[in-house]
Each structure stands twice: as C-alpha cells, then as structure tokens.
Amino acid sequence: MFYHDFRTMLIRLRAQFIKELLCILRDPRNRVVVFVPPLMQLLIFSYAATMEVRNLDIAVYNQDTGRAAQELVWHLEAARFIAQVHHVHSNTALREQLVQGKVIAAIAIPADFSRTVAVSGSGHAQVLVDGRRSNSGQIVVGYLSSIARDIRFTADTAPIPETSVTVRHWFNPNLVYLWFMVPGLTGTLAFFSALMITALSIARERELGTFDQLLVSPASTLEIILSKSLPALVISSLLALLMITLAIWFFRIPFTGSFGLLLIGLVLFILSAVGIGLVISAISMTQQQAILGGFVIGVPTVLISGFATPVENMPLLLQWLAQAIPLTHFLIIIEGCFLKALPPRDVLANLWPLAVIAFTMLPIAMIFARSRLQ
Amino acid sequence: MYPVAALPPSSAAEHDDTAIIIDHVDKHFGNVHALRDLSAEIHYGRLTGLVGPDGAGKTTLMRILTGLLVPDAGHATLAGFDVVANNDAIHVVSGYMPQRFGLYEDLTVMENMHLYAQLRGMDAGRHIDLFTKLLDFTRLAPFTGRLAGKLSGGMKQKLGLACALMARPRVLLLDEPSVGVDPVSRQDLWRMVQALTGEGMAVVWSTAYLDEAERCDSVLLLNEGRLAFAGPPGELTGRLKGRSFRLEAVGAQRRAVLAEALDLDTIGDGVIQGAGVRVVLRAGAGPEKIQALAGRVGARLTPVPARFEDAFIDLLGGGPGGTSALAERLSPVELTSDIAVSCHNLTKRFGDFIATDNVSFKVHKGEIFGLLGPNGAGKSTTFKMLCGLLKPTGGEAHVVGLDLRRAPGIAKAQLGYMAQKFSLYGLLSVRQNLEFSAGVYGLDSTTQRERIEEMIRIFDLHDWLSAAPDSLPLGHKQRLALACALMHHPPVLFLDEPTSGVDPITRREFWTHINGLARKGVTIMVTTHFMDEAEYCDRVAMLYRARLIALDTPDVLKRDAASADRPDPTMEDAFIHLVETSALTDEVKI
C-alpha cells in the first residue's frame, strides 16, 4: 500500500516536473528573464573589463640616454596593456598629456637613471598616475611594477619617495578585473535566474487559473512546491555551471579550489534562491506583481551581498542583514574556490548558512501557498 | 463643431432613418478572420440586437463602428459620417459603452458623471437638469455619493449608460451590457433602452444570450464573422412554425428520452426543460417518429412556440446527436453513501463582506445540481468552498463524505474540476495537457496511454494534438477542458460556469456529455448564470446576495412564479419572482 502510494506520488511529481520544465522553457517572458541577461551581461562585463586595463596610452619623458633607461622604454613599448607610448621632451608637456587625459600615466626618467642603476643595481623613475581614473590607475601601477620587477627596477609612485612601497596583490597579482568580476557575476546571475523562474511560477498559474486546477488534484502542497523547485534548481544550476565553464575555459580564470565543494555550495545556494522566489510567488496574485517582487528583493540583495562593495565597510546592521542573504555566502565560496583555494573549513562555514536559508524559505513558501486558499 | 450633434435625437429621422451602413466590411487579426465581408444596415428609433456567440465578431464590429478599429476592406458610415475619414465626428454623434466601462472606481457616482461631462467638453455646472434627468432615468439618484467601485454589477452598467448618454448621442452602442448583471437590473436596462429608442435614438445591443435577441426590434445574427441573419427576430423564428414541441412530464427518464430523441433523424435539436424535453424538428421532417417516442414513454407531445435559439441552431444545420461516446465508455459509479456532496451552514466572510451566508444543502449521487445566481451572488465562493479551494469561515462542506481541505491526495481523485475560464496550460500542447492531467492524477503509464487515446478519439482532438490550447476553436477548447477534468473518471464533477459565452451547438454537445455522465451515476455540480441552462439540472439552488433563496426542481421554481399574465414563466422569471418576494428587495427600488 505504501509502495503504491509512493509510486503514484512519483507519477504525479513526474507529470508536474515535465509541465513546469515546459512552461519555463516555452514562456517567452521566462526565456528573456532567465537566459538573455546572464549571457549578455557576462559578455558585456568581460568586454568592459577588457577596455579598462588594455589599450591605454602612456607618456614618457626620458631625460637619460643610457642603456637602462632605453631598456625600460622598450619594455613599456612592448607591454601588452599599452597601446601607445607618447614621447615628450619637457616636464610641462608630460604634465599636459596627463592633465588633458590623453594618457593614464606619465613616467619621468631622470638624467642619472642609467648611472644609478649601473652603480647601485636599482634606479628611480617618477610615475604620475591620473587619479581621476583611480581603478584603472591602480591596475596600471600594478602592471608597471611588474614590468619594473621584470627588469629589476622599482617604479616609484611618489614624486620624492622616502621609502619605496611595492604593493603586491595576492591571489590576483595583476588585479585582473575579470578574475573577481566573472565569478561574482556568475553567482549574481544564477541568483536572479532562480529567483525569477520561481517567482513567476505560482503567480503564472494563479493568473491563468490553472493553480486552482492543481489544488483540487491529488497533488499535495509539498509536491507542488517540490515540482516547482526542482526544474528551477536544474535550470539555474546548469546556467551557473555554464558560466563557470566559460570562466575557466574562455576567460582563463584560474580555478584553485575544490570543484565538489563549489557544486554543493551551488546547489544549496540555488535552493535558497528558489525558496525566496517561491515565497514571492506564493504572495503574488499576478505575474506582474511577481516580477516587481523579484526586483524589489533581488536588487538590494545584490547590493548588500558584497558583490560591488565589501560587506566589512557596511554599517553593522547591514552586515548582519548580509549574513541572511544567500548571495553573500556564495560569493565567498565561488570567489574563494576560483582564486584562493578556499580550504574546506572556510567553505563549510558558508555552506551551513545557505542550508539554513534554503530550508527555512521552502517551508515558508509552502505555508504561504496553502494559506492563500483562505 | 458638428451641428448635427446638437440636434435632439428625435429630429434625426428627417428623410432617411438609416443610422449605420456597413458595406462589405472585412477584418483580420493575424490568422483570425474576425469579420468576413459583412454588409448590413441599422436604423434610428429601433433597438438592434447584435447577436452571436463569443468570437463571432461582435466586439470587432462595434469597435469599427465607433472608429476604434480600421476595417481591412469595406466601409462603414455612422449617422452619415465615414468611420475612418470622419473619425472625430463619430465620437461626437455616438455613445459607446464597452464591455468593461471605464468607470473610475475611486470616484463617486456624481464625480464620474462630472468627469465624463468634462471629457465631452461640457460645462458640468450648466447641465444640472441633464444630470438630474440621467440620474432619474437610471434610478441612481439615491447613490450619487457612493464610490463607483462599491456599486453592484447592474448599477455599474447603469452608471456607464448614464455616462455614455451624456452627450446625447444619436447612435448608442452597447457591448454586452447584460453580462454580470442580475436579472432584475437587466429588466431595468431593457426599460431604459426601450425609452431611448422611443425618442428616436439608434441603439445597438450586443449579446451572446440568444434569448435577448427576441426582445430586439431587429437582429444582426453573427456567426464566425459572417452575417447569418438580419431582420426582425420574429422573421427567423417564423420559419420554424410548427416544428417545436415539448414532451411534457417525462420525469426521471428525461435524459434517456432526450438522448433517444436527438438520435432520431427527424430531430435537429433538443434540450431538457425541467421535467420535460423540448425538441425541434428538422426542416421538412414530420412529427411521426417523435410522436411514437412520446407514446412509448407515455409523455404528452405539445407544440410550443419557436425560440430564437431554435432558429439559430436550425440555421447552423442542427445540433449534435444525443449519445455521449464519453459516457458510453464509463463504468457506472459506485458510492458507499447516497449523498455525494453536502454542506451545512456554510459561511464565508471576506472582512466585512459576506460572500456566502449560512448555506446548507445535500446533493444525491447521480444528480445534476445547479448553483444559480447573478455574478456576485456568492455561487463561485460557495463552489470553491465545496471543492476545497477556499476555507469556510463557518460551517462544513463534504464531498463523498470528505472535507477536501483536510483530505489526503488520494481522496481528491474523487472529484473532477473544470474552472470558469478554460484553465489549460497555454504553454503546453494539447497532448501535453492531456498527459499532465493523466499524470497529476497518478494514473499508471498503461492507463495513462489508454485514457489519453480514448479522450482523443471521443473528443476528436486528433488534428490538434500539437497545437497550443489557445489556438483551438472554442468548442474544441471546451472538449479539451472536459477531457482533462474527466481523465481520472471521477465520481463527482464540479463545473464552474462551463458554458458562458460558448455557442449553442457546443453547449448542446457539452450537455449531451453531462447528461450521459449523470445517467452513469456521476454527480454533477454546476454553477451558471444562464437561467436557461438551469433547466438541465435536477435541482437548482438559487443564490442571491450570498443567501440561498430557493432550492427545488426547475419545474417547481417556475410553477411558483406562474401568474395569470405569465402562465408559462421562464427560469429568469422565476428568479425575478423569487428576488421580489424575498425580503431582499433590490436596493435600486428604495
């Protein structure tokens, strides 16, 4: 008897699962929300990121005629991120280039540069960076430092340095924008796709009147919630995996952590997003309300998650709130797995909050879906 | 600007009384051919019914006449102005009341009227007497301070009518004004419209209710975008003289008798009327065979006057046969108890609003039980509580002895449900919808395959299997909905407004199946605001303002309403009679 009940339950679940999958994949609104933004944003961001650290112009005022100075200039001219090196012949012209925004950085090589190098093994050149473009500027300094290191010089960023400071960025030594952008974006976009698929799911049926049909059928609320969760889980996880694959093979971002742990994190993370989406859907009466609800919840979630600004810089209250947001934890996991071989202990510390969020939101969705009957 | 608009409607009929000329009008929407080469005339001083089922092209024609749509081909003139070339003039000389009139729900009755006056460029302050006249005419005077959103369906329509009449149009176009209006308010609307035509106005009243056609002076009957008939309704029904009969007092076997009658080659159409069966002979056929049938079952055969619906079905070549292939395949229903559905003191409150007030009844196995009432009377709420979609505030509801809100999944398989709008998955194909229904009721794969094939064959869905349900013709859509609801052979079937807006042929076919199911012992719960449809029911519960005001067989309800000047009342008459005699007098009559 029990076996029979279980079997009919599986039949019911299967029917609902297929229905749900077909609805998601065939709904033009869903297709737009689910598939277009992730792929488009991934491409736009990667392209925008390329623009920031490449194709830059640099001005050089070389007052030295020695071999070391010439070597430095050659290296600059050969550097991949520099489009053109403008040679100027006065400090005023150098400043002019920078002020007018023609170049992002200006390098003044003093007349005694080669001599100092020959005597002490290292020399000082002055680097002026356009502070108006601070992000790119910092990255350029990073690049220049690595060039200088390659040819055993140090590049000074201060006009008259008392001690020369070398900044070294761990895990992303060249501060490649893409390296932290793409994993973060993967999490954000997967979150939105899961949120939207599920937010629309119950609301769509309610709007079209099929939800009543479903409620009078033998399918229990648990089955309804399950059958709405699974397809969203599958689709959003596959989407995230596709983006991770692109990150590794297309964007060539080093993946240093454990893939298995990332996968567990991904599933729990999508489940929690599904839970939040289903709660929104259970409350909404129409698809329009559901979409609105999705954005009202989704956008602040991304802002507080630490995707754009570090959580540590937020007011205490928001820091607490951030802990309740699945994206916060998943960003730590995915960025950690990509760039810094996050040890299992640290992954676990972020896995259990995801599990807690997922397994609180799903029952709440169930309660809401049922209580709407009254 | 247009002096003609300032003329009182009565002086309109100077030389020519033609208000509207429709000349070979054609209109497509994508693949849908909404109007096909339509030509007709509409006259001043007459009430013209634009009659046809949903999707016949009524609204399209209305919107072309008011200049809101441009025809693909052909011309139309209204009060002498071309609807395309003189679009601005059309808005001045015509009044249009769309299906959902654009009332501002957060404004009061008076504020709405002021707003429409201003939109019409009238100085509201200078038209006090016009307002008084309109309020008087619509009997809305006691409610000027009430928010439009708080009005009943009938009162909303009257306010809409008042606003449409504001600029004293010469042509008034009303798009399905009687939908969602209770029978009492409907009477009021008729009275108003008749007064207007008396003043010389041309009034076009569109409707899907064929019985309303009989009240019009002239009728344009549309079917699938074509003009099926134009002229006085009497002319059409006149063709059926001597062909309509009623088998009186057939009683319990009436469904079997109807099925048998419909299978006779001499019978074109038939319906159940209370304990009797009403039949229409095919053109040129003699009454011998039906006479013989009447003799065999011991029923008296009396000639009855033809109805407009008879004529429409005759025009379309007769209705479907009487045998339901679906019911044939069903094995008789066995229930442990004779009571299939019951409710006791069922009450539902939404805040201050009482939607269902203390309703109790019992429905027997194999009975067709109707919940009848105008929109907003509480029939949908009661219905939803019965099948477990709403939680009652008080009282209990049971289906086959189970409270469906608490019943386990397996118990829910006892009921089939067909929602008001065709609640099919539009994103799934016809076959996928069938597969989903079979799957969600937990049928095993062999049974699934058998049942789906069976439904496809019975309902003739073969050519539509990969189509989207929304692209199906209305009749097929209804078949599909019924197929999905019956996939698991439920002993109790819930039908919520199953035939609203459906053409009469499809409705006949639908009831053939329902009658067949009832004969197999399936209990049918049906809600309807079609008073005529209640005739099919064994018993009818009449709901009005959340209360059960009567519960009996259609014949008894009608008999109670009979009077000297109305010896053979319709269900609608019976309903009006009940409302008038119950303590709940219409608030318009204060």
How much is the pLDDT for A51? 47
Q: What DSSP string runs through A264-289?
A: HHHHHHHHHHHHHHHHHHHH-SSHHH
Amino acid at A243: M
Long-range contacts of B28-32 (CB under 8 A, 24+ apart): B28/B72, B29/B60
How much is the pLDDT for B363? 93
pLDDT, tens digit, 9 for 90 and up, residues B325-374: 777 777 787 777 788 899 999 999 888 888 888 999 999 998 999 998 87
Does A180 score more than 70 pLDDT?
Answer: yes
Interchain CB contact of B431 with A (< 8 Å):
no
pTM of the shown model: 0.77
Q: Where are the domains of chain B?
A: 18-231, 237-323, 329-583
Question: Which residues neighbour A147 within 8 Å (Cβ) at sequence distance 6 or greater?
Answer: A72, A75, A76, A79, A155
Instruction: From B42, B87, B35, select the one nearest B66 (Cα to Cα).
Output: B87
**Is-contact B443 A12, C-beta < 8 A?**
no
Q: Which two tokens stand for residue A34?
A: 């689910």
Residue A16 and residue B391: Cβ atoms within 8 Å?
Answer: no
In this structure, whether the domain defined by B237-323 belongs to CATH 3.30.70.100 is answered with yes
Domains of chain A and CATH, by start: 1-48+176-371 (no CATH), 56-150 (3.40.1710.10)
Does A373 score more than 60 pLDDT?
Answer: no
Residue B436 and residue A15: Cβ atoms within 8 Å?
Answer: yes
* Cα–Cα distance for residue pair B226/B34, rounded to 1 Å: 9
Mutate to test the interface with B, among A212, A226, A371 (most CBs of B within 10 A): A212
- Name every chain A residue with its beta carbon within 8 A of the beta carbon of B409: 9, 12, 218-220, 223
How much is the pLDDT for B4? 39
* Cα–Cα distance for residue pair B376/A127, rounded to 1 Å: 79
Interchain CB contact of B306 with A (< 8 Å):
no
Tell me the shortest Cα–Cα distance from A283 to chain B, in angstroms: 16
Does A214 score more than 60 pLDDT?
Answer: yes
ipTM of the complex: 0.76
Q: Which of A207-221, B235-249, B393-407, B516-530 has the lowest mean pLDDT?
A: B393-407
- Are B18-231 and B329-583 the same fold in CATH? yes
- Name every chain B residue with its beta carbon within 8 A of the beta carbon of A9: 409, 442
Residue B409 and residue A26: Cβ atoms within 8 Å?
Answer: no
Tell me what the mean pLDDT of segment B87-115 comes to: 84
- Name every chain B residue with its beta carbon within 8 A of the beta carbon of A373: 388-391, 405
Interchain CB contact of B417 with A (< 8 Å):
yes
Give the residue carrying structure tokens 């309300």.
Answer: A289
Q: What is the separation of C-alpha A206 from the centre of its chain, rounded to a whole number of angstroms?
A: 34
Q: Which two tokens stand for residue B184?
A: 């009492």
Interchain CB contact of B426 with A (< 8 Å):
yes
Tell me the shortest Cα–Cα distance from B97 to chain A, in angstroms: 26
Residue B417 and residue A27: Cβ atoms within 8 Å?
Answer: no
- Confidence label for A358 from pLDDT (cuts 50, 70 and 90): very high
Q: Select the residue of B384, B417, B435 nearest A213 (Cβ to Cβ).
A: B417
CA-to-CA dists, residue A239 to A243, A354, B12, B412, B449, angstroms: 6, 19, 69, 37, 34
In terms of average pLDDT, the best of A135-139, B52-56, B169-173, B569-573 is: B169-173
B329-583, CATH topology level: Rossmann fold (3.40.50)
Residue A216 and residue B389: Cβ atoms within 8 Å?
Answer: yes
Q: Select the residue of B388, B435, B438 nearest A216 (Cβ to Cβ).
A: B388
Residue A22 and residue B427: Cβ atoms within 8 Å?
Answer: yes
pLDDT, tens digit, 9 for 90 and up, residues B215-258: 899 999 998 888 988 999 888 888 888 889 988 888 778 888 88
Smallest CA–CA distance from B436 into chain A, residue: A15
Q: What DSSP string runs through B152-201?
A: -HHHHHHHHHHHHTTT--SEEEESSTTTT--HHHHHHHHHHHHHHHHTT-
* Cα–Cα distance for residue pair A38/A238, rounded to 1 Å: 12
pLDDT, tens digit, 9 for 90 and up, residues B528-565: 877 778 888 999 998 888 889 889 998 888 888 888 88
* Cα–Cα distance for residue pair B192/B336, rounded to 1 Å: 54
CA angle A239, A242, A243 (to 5 degrees): 90
Interchain CB contact of B6 with A (< 8 Å):
no
Instruction: From B216, B113, B194, B205, select the one nearest B159 (Cα to Cα).
Output: B113
Question: Which residues neighbour A170 within 8 Å (Cβ) at sequence distance 6 or greater?
Answer: A340
- Name every chain A residue with its beta carbon within 8 A of the beta carbon of B445: 11
How much is the pLDDT for A176? 64
Q: Select the residue of B390, B413, B424 nearest A218 (Cβ to Cβ).
A: B413
- Name every chain B residue with its beta carbon within 8 A of the beta carbon of A5: 410
pLDDT, tens digit, 9 for 90 and up, residues A265-283: 999 999 999 999 999 999 9
Q: Phi then psi for B351, rounded to 5 degrees?
A: 65, -125
Does B512 score more than 80 pLDDT?
Answer: yes
- Name every chain B residue with its beta carbon within 8 A of the beta carbon of A220: 408-409
* Cα–Cα distance for residue pair A205/A209, rounded to 1 Å: 6
- Confidence label for B433 from pLDDT (cuts 50, 70 and 90): very high
Residue A18 and residue B435: Cβ atoms within 8 Å?
Answer: yes
In CATH, which superfamily holds the domain spanning B18-231?
P-loop containing nucleotide triphosphate hydrolases (3.40.50.300)
* Cα–Cα distance for residue pair B273/A350, rounded to 1 Å: 71
